[in-house]
Structure 1
């Protein structure tokens, strides 16, 4: 859902929207984590290690481009995704490597 911050006329309304967006972000992060769990199941059969530097670079490039398209600071997006990526790799390494 798209939210226009200009539609908020009070800080209470704005904060409520931010809280709703935070909930949606957590939902998406949980869905991403579930996909990482599936990767743990698939990677060994395909001979793919937990850390694939070419994939890391591809994900970072994609996220930076998406951020630029949405007028989000690409450096912020990259920093956040590097945290996600490293968490994901550690999660995979416990099983794969």
Structure 2
């Protein structure tokens, strides 16, 4: 049974909820990755590049704004999202054959 932080009475409770959330985050990352693959499929016939600087800036700013709205440290989450973006671009480059050029 899911508990809020305030409902956790033991470290075991806290750890169980963190593990539950980590699994949920991984599920969301896996879903996000499906969209990265699809983006490459759509970009290929359009001859679009993996790296679209305007979109990268937009996603980074979204991460920063969302962090602020949720009371999180914006610089940390912008950095985290930058790593996600860089990893996705590298993956798209492989799928698009850009890393062979």
Q: TM-score, normalised by structure 1?
A: 0.92
Unaligned 5+ segments in structure 1 are: none
Aligned equivalents of 2:35, 2:3: Cα separation in 1:
27
Count the aligned residue pairs.
96
Q: Give the TM-score normalised by the residue count of structure 2.
A: 0.89
Q: Corresponding residue for 1:51?
A: 51
Structure with the bigger RCO (C-alpha within 8 Å, sep 6+) is: 1
Name 1:37's counterpart in structure 2: 37
Aligned Cα RMSD in Å? 1.4
* Structure 2 spans left out of the alignment, 5+ residues: none
After superposing on structure 2, the runs of 4+ consecutive aligned residues of structure 1 that deviate more than 6 Å are none
Larger Rg: 2
